[in-house]
Structures are given as structure tokens and as C-alpha cells.
Structure 1
């Protein structure tokens, strides 16, 4: 097909690719389409009604009433003119129309004199053909009749879209989709066709590229670019290889190859070509395309979840900023474990497998512990102790983070209320994720939880990272609402995220926490020490209190105190403490080692 389109315009090449992708040309007749042509012939009292598709060289009739031949050459097709407009093409007397009076279909059989055709236009704006009515006598078409013909054409398009997209064709490119790929893989397995193949999954744009293109070009242009990219990939692969459009920017295909080395050579060449600059709508693009691939044998491997395995390889390629990565079984381990952790969360919360421990924060000026940070712990009866560094990132990516944060908030406030009943009044910090802050009801949940446990909101701190507060405007609104309640807000991991200083002007933050990665090397790295001092001074100039976390030795502690850090948190000050042990710890005298003069 692509070779036949060399002389066509870009718009015509794209139209023909969309038509080809529908796989309707030369398909068997169906009652769904025939019913519409019969209705059209009866409504307009004409001998002939056609649903025609215009290919690169012919007019083929998907449905016909009163026409004996199944197709005509494109040069004789009235419908070739109809597809060039969005309106109905009306020819009242073809014998008097200079465009058609010498047409063989007018001069010979079937002797067309009257023609009216409504173009069949897809949602993407491509005219596939037309619904037309034909008579052997001249006649006129009223505005009402033209409107009725367009309505019938719309019904044809509904049927086309339904036929094309019965779970098997992507709506943007009209290429076979994920469901068709799975079906084809199953067919290969059932056929028992032995032989090595490579399944390749290509993501043609990074998420940042998609966002930039969407903002700069808009959705219709972005979809057009994806169609062009899909066509470009198909050209590189050749007409004998099927390209599948499996998600917004991901395409898949299979190569019949003997060895992985052979497939690597082919895929590396394709990825190099896909990364070459090209122009679209007058703008130069260089794709950040990546590929995940795996070798499989249809006879022995065809029933495995090959697409998931290719996706694992693609994710790994993204993580390593590599153009191509091959699947390895160990790639699945962290993904499957992360999925298992998320799935276990509701039951584990209900079974009491989670608990909070509390790490004290030392107020340097007051020489006392003024607050604690609530830290989550998970002890699973089978999997044992699960690190927060593992389960929190996995859960943060899902809606389950709301359930987990709700539990932490309730548990922390319940413990705060119990301590206050024993005469201990101390602030308790709870971590909130980006998804929490984006939730429109999060501030209300905080207020209701404080009311429920009868804890003044001033004893609650919400800690959030730089990255989380810069995800959208909703997060800033949420923080403003929380601050109005009297809750204090801390910016965690300061200095290692976006470090967008401008954001500090619009966020109701009172405390900045220097990340442990900035604090740890200051005793041995002069530049790190200079940076830490500068950040402390910077924070103070803007009116923030500064806390250093991850302090693990006396020298680091003393340097930070001398630098004017307001608060210290870390193992040198105190390890996280169980709730039952905190009161005796805080009531004990501050150790002399923490009383730096």
C-alpha cells in the first residue's frame, strides 16, 4: 500500500491509511449496511443507492441497491468528487455537467443522470467514501432531502465505527489494537506454529513529550501526529508486518527471527530511525522512543502474558534511559511484589498489621523535644517486616494511598489524644502524598478527624514533599484550607526535589526540612557543608524554621547547631520510638550530649 501512495498528497496518504486500517474494503456484505441502502432507495424513490469506499485506484461498493458491478475505477467515480467536501454533492443532470457529461457511467451503463452523495467522514476528519443515491432521470434535491441524506450517512458512519471498533481497532489510528494483538497471539498459540519470534513494544513519546505536544498543538493535532508516527513505523517495518496500536503512544509488532541477536540488530535500526528528527505541522520533532522486547516461541510460549512481559522490558528501558531493553524474568519481581502489597493493604489494615512509631524532633533553642513524626511500620504474618521505602512508593501510585493516609491520620490523632489525657502536649507530624493533597475532601477529612478525637489542629503537622505540592493548583488550595484550620505545614525533603523557590511565596509553609542526603556528607564534604549553611540562612531570611533530618553522628549534629538550625531529627537525637515508650523518654532529662553550648 505505501508504495502505491508515493505520489499522493500527505492528506490523501493519511486518508488511505485510515481507510485501509478499517479493513472494510473487500469485506463481505452485511445486513447492517444493506438495510441503510434499501432505506435510502425507498425514501428518495431512486433505483440505485450505494455505500462506496474510495481506494487509491477504485470505487468499491460495501452495499448496493440497483447496481450490478461490485466496483468501478476511481476515475469514473462520482463519489471521488463527493469525498472532497463535507457537504452533499448534488448533480441534477450529469449529461449537462461539464465534470461528468463524458463519464462512461453517464454515456453508457447504468446511464447516470442524477447523483447525490453525502461523504462518510470519520471522527478524525477523514472521508472514506459516500452514501449516494442515483437515478437515470434528471431531478432536483431539496434542502430537506439533502439533510435527510446526511442523516443516513451519519447512520452509516455509526455502523462503520461500530464494525471497526468492536474491540479490535484503535479509534485514533484505526490500526489493530491491544485486543487484536492478544487475539493474534492466541491464534498463533492455537496453531502451534513453532519458531522463534520477537514481540516488540515501542513507546514513541515520553510522558513529558505528550504533555508538551498536547499543550502546544492540542488534542486533534496530537492524534494526527500519532497517526503519522504509526505510519512511519509501518513504513520502516514493511507491509508484511502488522503494527498494533496498543495504547495512546505505544505500538507493538512481531518479528519472525531466529535469534535474539538478529532481532536486536533489526530493532536497534528501527529505533535509530524512529529517533531521527522529522517535521509535523511545520514543527521539528525528535521522538524519545523506547522499546521493550522479548523472544518467544508461539508453540511453547504463546499462552503466557507476553504483552505484560514486553511492558516490563519497556518500563526498564525507560528507567535506564535506554532505546532498547530485552525482557528478563527478574524484571517482574519488583512489579509483582508491588502489586501484591497494594492488594494486601485493605486486609492488612483491618488485621492490625500496621502500627505507628514516633521519631522525636529536638528544638535546639528550647533544648527540649517539641514534636514527633509519625512513621508507618508494617509487620506481615507471612512476608515479615516490610520497609516503608518499599510499600509507600507502591501504594502512592494508586488510590489506596487515601485509605492508608486516612488510617495514619486517625491513628496519630488517637494517640495524640491519649498522650494529652496523660498531660503530654506535643505536635505530631503526619506525611501526606501528592494524591492526598489533590483530593478535594482531604482538608475536610483532617478537620473531621481532629474534631472526632478532640485534638486542637495546632498540635497536628502535615508534612509534604516539594514534588507533591507542585503537581497542580489543587494542592495549593488544599494546603491553604488546612492552614486555615490551624494545622502547621512542613515542606519535607527540601533541596532535592524541584526546588522551585517561587512556590514558597504561595504555600502556607512554616518549616523546611533539609533532606538527609544534603545533611549526611557535611562533616566530610566542604561543598556540602557550604550548601547546608546557605540553605539554613536562606530559609531564615524568608521567615521559615529549618529542621535537619537524618542526623546520625555528634560532629554533624554540632555543626548544624552552630549553623543555627532550629530543629534536629535523626538517629543521633533519637531513633523512632514505640508509642508506649515515648512518654517516659520525653519526661527523662535531655542527654548532655545534645546540650551543645
Structure 2
């Protein structure tokens, strides 16, 4: 016999022996002859000749498989398992025919069934080897296949119910089981193939349709045999399904040997949800049919199991999604979201800790020179080295790219610095990636909690700033300092925090008494706003009011201050305390709606208008005197007093002072402070007091810090004074005790509401 032609080709650097097509052509020719003979029937006494022609077709299929195994040199396990499955099944058929001894068919169960049963695990092995190439999706794929197999089994149990009830299969229970088990195994193979096709990432070879066709033919033949087992004879049309099924599977094995199976980016195949939808629909249909007509209990049980198994992923899907969303895919460390999640509850004002941001130096050079695969491998090894330098309770995360983060729980500043140096030392030794030896270093920024804040985003930003300082100075690591913060960045951050403070009302009013000098009585207090910053503590107005004005937030802030001041004044009024509250307003608040807003507020708190005073700076009034005068006149007509704050600091004309509707002038503290050292300042203050009195205006001196200045102000005829000599701004709860303890105060009976 002529040797089978073969030649070798190089594929991807490996030698692959090309497979001769002669066995394939022979198998296809014999199979076609078998089908033609089957169609002709009795004309050529096919019942005799056709049986052995079918066996010849199967033996030719075995030759195709053996040729594929030999030519691929046992390098493809899919080919090995597939060839073994075809050979085992053919051996069973040969044994079956050789032992007929003149009978038309054996009893249902024979020794050939052993070979037939072996066919299925071997085919599953071929598919399992293929599944191993789909890293990360093996279990979902197996689960989908199992769901499909259970659904198919439930349908099959319902279809084969007549056999189950009549006890077919030679009248024995074992025979009945053997008859039924073949269609179930066929459907298991089909669902496994369907799962692979639904993966949309694995190509089963150029002839995957032949595999599906072969298994379908097997299933059809086994179902036909089960339904007509008592009438089956060798050589009938049922044999065609088995024979052509074996031939189709052999041709698929040959195709795999020629082209291999590989991960390919193709859309060929079934949509990912097709098999799952089909399986659950079939199970629901079985249960619905069972509600209308009697069906086998086994079918109902299998259908119920199908639905339960299909629902199983839903129980874990949310947890899986959370894990995927908070885990870095490359290093399996927490990502930025995971870090934020893990930090919640760990940042406490009483509990020390440190957040470290780590950035690899010159990592981009590695990616550019050696490729992203090497870069990824480097990141994995770096993360492993960092992990071994940390305690179990510490948090290590990868933020993205070459950036990592570490949170050290309960460590002091010195301990955090020691850990930073230890992390640097972990990269002292080169990292080996394949044949490359890579030397890298790291820049580390350190932010401490609670010193640098207990807000997650703020702490991360400060650690990031410190990391850039470390990188720019090439110092290895850097501990965050307020000097590191850029002015523009600090301004933007403060603005964002200020917006949050307005939403959460993080403000508090303190009140500074204004003492009437002629009687040493307190008739008024000035409301001064403080910002209770969640990180920086209580901030004075000078640290945020200019920014609020610049950002257009002053009207919103003034509304909060007005509401708080009126509410407190109302409480004091209810207690019989006849002091008024002065509230500072910026020029941006002098709008047409202001009188209505304030009057509504007074009405809501049932507070007399005389208990509220508005202080407006001179320069704000002079910006648009006519507009300001009109609005202030409406307020003053309603009984609300107006005070011109910081008088003497601007460049306004004294003529405007005559036209402005005001009740009080407040001398700027710069005049009052200068009185101790400059006699001219005292003369200027006296002139302003005389001018104000001539216009029927009271005068308030701000910034009175000593007794000498107070004596001089009394001599000059000043009406009221406030300053540290009397009291610093006080929380609302301390105002009444201070007034009671230090000055006489006018008390009245509470006004009936």
C-alpha cells in the first residue's frame, strides 16, 4: 500500500505535520454510498449490505481520527479525546454486529453498551480540554451547561414518559434506565457545546457545525430508539443517525487537528444568554404542562432544579459586581473604590494613622522599551514586595497605572516614616521579568490622620501632593506640610468645602457685647459668624468671608446668619432681655428682596423690628449710594436700625453721609488703636463723633482693648464701645451670664405674643 503523503510546515515557530486528506475523502465517499443505499432500500437488499456498509463508514471515520492523532503527534488533547470517543463507539458497533448470530437485534442491554457509554466521558473530555483555554469563565460555562442539561433532561423525561410507565427495555428496570440514559447524555453534550459557543471567545475549529450536527443526529437516533425499542432491527433508519453522527464527529476532529482551537475575537456563535434563556423557558414549559396534564414526576423535579440552578448566580451576582468594582484586575489588590470603602470607619479624630501614596519612578520607560506585558508583570511583583513589607492589618491598594496606596492603622509619625523607608528598601534589589532584570524605585507621599484631616478625599489629596513633592525633590518620601499646598489648589479646595458647609450649615454665631458708655449698660450685641470646619476646627470670618464674596456665596451665607441671629434674639426677647442683635451684611446682599425677606423672618419669629440692626460697610454703601439708600430707607421705616460699619476707611464724600438712612456710625479699629500713640488720631476721632452727633447718629468705637482708650473715648463723648477690654465674642449660651455678671442690664417683662 502506498504510504500516506505528508509534509511539514512551520506555524508560529513550531513544526506541524500536514494531515493527508485521503482518509477524509474515503469516509465521505463511503458515507454518501451508505445514504444512497438507504434511500434505494429493497432494490439492493440494503438490509443486508447496508449494515456492513455503515460499519465500513464508521471504520473509515476511525481512520480519519487515528490519522489526525498521529499527524499532530499527540500534541492536541481535543484530538486525542475525540478520536478515542469515535474509536470506542465504533468498537461497540463492531462487537454488536459480530455477536448477533442471526438475530435481528440484541436484547436492549448488551456488552456493546459499555463501549457506547465510554463514548460520552471521552467527548466531554475533549470539550473540557477546550474549556481550559477560557481562563476565568470555566465555572460560569459549566454552570450554564449544567442548567441546559437539566432542562433538556426534564423535557426528555416528559417525552419518554410512556417508556418509563410501560417498563420498556426488556421488562427490566436496568434495561429501561439504559434506554433512557442515552438521550440524556446526548443532550448533556449538546448543552456543553452550546455553552462553549455562547462564550463568544472560543472557536471550536473550522468544522464546529459538524460537531453540533453529529450530536443532534445522535440525539435523534437515541430518542427514536427509546420510543420504538421493541420494533428496532439492525439496519433500520435509526442506525443512520448513529453512523452519520460518528462520521460528522470524526470530520470535526480532523478539522481541529488541521486548524486547532484558539481564542479568537469573533462574534461567531450563539449570544451569551441564548442557552440560559432557552433552558429556563423549557423548564417553565414543563412545569406549566405538568399543571394541566399528568407527566412524570421526574420531569417536574428536573425542571424545578433547572430554575433553581439558573437562579443561583443571581444570589452571588451583586457580591461579584461589588468585588469586580473594588478590585484591581491585574494585582487583585483593592482599587481606588476599594481603598475608599476600606478606609471608612478607620479615619477618626482620636485614632492615629497614615496614608501613603506610592508612585514608581520611570515606569513609563519600561512600558515604552519592553512593552505593556513586561510592565504588567513588573507591577505584580512590585505589589508582592510591598505586601510583604506591611502588617496584616494595613491596607495596600493599586490606584491605577503605577500608583499604589498604603494605609497604616494606628502608627505614629516616626513609625509611618520607618514603613516608608522599608517600602523603598523592598525595591532595592532588581526585579527579574523573564530574561530582563529591572531596577526601579518609588516616590512616597505621606499624609497623617488626624493631623492632616479625617476626610477621605482631603487626606488622599494631601498624600498626593506630598508624593509629587517627593518625586520632584527625588527624596524618596515626603511628609505632607501645609507649605506644600499650592495657593490656587488651596483656594479651590476651600471653596468646595465652603459650599459643603453651606449645605450642612457648619456655621455658628458668636456675640460681642456693645456697651453704652454713659450708663455701662449692654443694649446690643454684634453677631459674628464662625465656621466649624470638620478638619481645621473653628475658623474666623476673615479666613472665608472674602472667598464667599468672590464666589457669590455671600447672599446664601447672610441668609443663614440672619436666620440664626433673629432666632437667638427672639429667645432672648422671650426671656425679657431687651438687647438688639447687629448682623453684618455685604453690599451684594443689598437687593430689592432684602426688606421683604427680613420682615418675613421677623414675623415668623414674632420679634420686634427694633431688636435687629444691620451693619453695612461704608465702601459697600458708597458703591451705589442711591440704590443702597432706597433699600435701607424701607428697612429703617419698618423699624430696623442701620449701622455704617468701618467708617473712615473709605474715600467717600461726607455729603453722602447726610443722605444715607443710618442710625449709627462704627469707627474703624484702626482709629481707636492709634489713639494711644498719636494725638492727632484722638483729635480725628473727636471730630467724627461731633460730626455724627450733628447728624443725629450714634457712634460706636470698635477695638477697645484697654482702659486708657476707654477713658479717652468717654471724654470725647463716644456713645458705645466694644472690644476685648470688655469681652471677646461669646457663644450664645454665655452672653446672658456675662451681661448679668459684668454690667447692669435693662430688663422688661416679656412682650405677649
Verify same fold: TM over 0.5: no
- The structure whose Rg is larger is 2
More helix by share: 2
TM-score (norm 1): 0.42
